[in-house]
Structure 1
């Protein structure tokens, strides 16, 4: 059976694909947590003069994901999910090898390029959850997505544990072995995605589908608020998360402490996904986004209370929970703004905007930490949280007024 046939519903095939993609997510998705946990530390060690660029590797990874979102969709529409995923896994293998080589050679910008390639491959990994639902019935789609999200939870464990087990493999060259391990994990993911079978849907343009002009969609108040909340939830999380490993090391904690902190953070990011949808259904999208924003603020409150290990780990867990509620809730709000035929275009535009701002946040994180300190990084969270809460309040009041007027 080839991928050139039209889409069809087959839950047996969907279950098989979901299991493979969940395992691939656990391995291939670990690249992001590896770069997050070690990228700033590697950058700090390589840079002799301007330490403010230490977070550039994480920023280039996020930029790679941002710029890869639209090409990923185009490639998979043209060649199918399997070809796209296999090609991306090979890019991830090469990125890991290049990163390890650059660490051995002490080449900072080459290392940043390798992280960018990891992010590019990560743009395809972001599509795993959608691919799992491609052949699923309506009754099984949510379960298929949940299985892949479970792989995301495992990725949060696999990545940091790979760091802990391999960081001293080529002592005294710290983390060189970690990126070889990243390449190995991506190679296993390549083997897994080679066995998925997903039919490729017929190609159809946005105009043929009868979609509205993009400007009309983007001018909706709900679209603007949803994108703003999505950007703030993700960008604020990135701002604090990227600076945290550096801040922990500066406060006398170890690389293992930092890696375990990132592990708990990623678990907090993805773990609640199994019930966040139920909470949204019960309490509403706007309330869940508001709770997520409040948790982001709580993260900064805890971080400002002290610099002990418990402060950093607690803050990272709150940061992950805040991202989960804020970003997933904002994504759910976004789904109210487009028609089925407009879905791919609007999702791509949203992801491009979100990851663009996330890259800017992660890049500025290092400079802010270097020049102004850890407290300033956390203080910056509060005005953006207040702004987004105000936007949500304005939207709710405006929509209520529109209903009563009608």
Structure 2
């Protein structure tokens, strides 16, 4: 393998181009996630018998797939590079969508879970688009590069739910299966878009597992706080988002209302990305994360206040914006804790932890909603956010903070 110097990789012109390509791939490839979130819990409810407590399990399996695929995805791209790795990952969405569609047609709940898990494994590659955007970026441009990629999710928020609305009954009288089949088309489009990506193959030191021992990296206070805040932001978002379609239908809102609620939520997740990177550069990671956490608290308060359509949609929008500030802030903070030759190992571990906890949160959503109700599920937000504020305060008092621009 040809060696490439680390400094040669920092080219903000190339980083801008790659960020735009990855934003387009995010817009299309990321659309599988809202399809799974909007449809798989309802499909699970449709396939299950009298006990509906496992209805959110297909969503949990999707997130388990993301978690389980994170470290193998990072390892594969360390060996062969970002572009071919991402293109291979897109096949997961294709195979997963086909499997889920067949599961609904054939009435097999556990096969549906397998299909969403395969989609999740493909999604583990999509989640690393944000890190790939930072590969060739300077430290100053890195938060913006990450934000640009996630800004592609605005289109995701439109594409995914609209695909659900127009395809869920394509195989009537069997519901939901058509939406899963649409993932095949999305995966093929992503493979074409990724052909325009230009990121150097891994440097020799990186491919050879160079850099500090992992125990040294994870012992940094900044690493620990970044991971804790990322886990909390994603876990709380997933728990509330997963349960919302079921809660809305239980409160006599229509499936279309629930799907449109997810659409507004996904748009709220990604629309702030157009300026989140600028906010981070201006105010620092810690302040942006803190605002995100406060917005998550706002989501819980609005959700508890009532069960009208405005309450559900308002809570979902606050949930999305809170996730954006918390997760992008934590991701940008994480990029300061490793050297270039350590990046894929650290990124893989981070995503494994984040999406592993997200899977637990998603699985718990159905059980909490079924056993204790919608209000109790939202109350869980408050102690988790309090823990994150304690972590941020510890980082501040430890003196491990970065000056703002």
Normalising by structure 1, what TM-score? Answer: 0.90
Query: 1:353 — aligned with what?
Result: 353
- Separation of aligned partners in 2, 1:296 and 1:314: 12
The size of the alignment, in residue pairs, is 398
- Kept in 2, the 8 Å contact 1:77–1:203? The answer is no
> In structure 2, do the counterparts of structure 1 residues 237 and 350 end up closer, same or farther at CA, with 3 Å as the change threshold?
same
Q: Could you list the per-position Cα deviations for residues 357-382 of structure 1 after superposition, in whole angstroms to 9, with x for gaps in the alignment?
A: 10000001001111111111011111
Contact 1:243 1:365 in 2 (8 A): yes
**Which has the higher mean CA deviation after the structures are superposed, 70-79 or 103-112?**
70-79
Moved over 4 A (4+): 3-19, 132-147, 205-208
In structure 2, distance between residues paired with 1:220 and 1:133 = 21
State the Cα distance separating 1:176 from its structure 2 match. Answer: 1.1
**Conserved 8 A contact 1:270-1:324:** yes
- Does structure 1 retain, via aligned residues, the 8 Å contact 2:74–2:347? no
Find the residue that maps to 1:324 and give its secondary structure. helix
Residue 35 of structure 2: aligned partner: 34
Equivalent residues in 2 for 1:207-356, closer than 5 Å: 209-211=210-212, 213-356=213-356
Native 8 Å contact 1:35 1:115 kept in 2:
yes
Say whether the 8 Å CA contact 1:5–1:200 is kept in structure 2: no
Residue of structure 2 in register with 1:24 after alignment? 25
Determine the C-alpha separation between the residues in 2 that align with 1:234 and 1:127.
15
CA distance in 2, matches of 1:284, 1:9: 22
* Residue of structure 2 in register with 1:62 after alignment: 63
User: For the Cα contact (< 8 Å) 2:244–2:312, is it kept in 1?
Assistant: yes
Cα drift, residue 194 of structure 1? 3.4
Contact 1:14 1:136 in 2 (8 A): yes
| Alpha-carbon distance in 2 for matches of 1:13, 1:391 | 35
User: Structure 1 CA distance, aligned partners of 2:139 and 2:78?
Assistant: 22
Q: CA deviation at 1:334?
A: 2.8
Deviation at 1:342, TM superposition (A): 3.1
Greater shift, 86-95 or 349-358, is seen at: 86-95
Partner of 1:156: 157
Q: Is the 8 A contact 2:146 2:328 kept in 1?
A: no
Quick one: structure 1 residues 316 and 174, their matched pair in 2 at CA, closer, same or farther if it must change by over 3 Å?
A: same
Q: CA deviation at 1:21?
A: 3.1
Counterpart of 1:367 in structure 2 is 367
* Alignment check: 8 A CA contact 1:4 1:199 kept: no
Q: 1:246 to 1:191 in 2, by over 3 A?
A: same
Q: Check conservation: 2:144, 2:276, Cα contact below 8 A.
A: no
Partner of 1:90: 91
8 Å contact 1:5–1:199 — kept in the other structure?
A: no
CA distance in 1, matches of 2:82, 2:292: 32
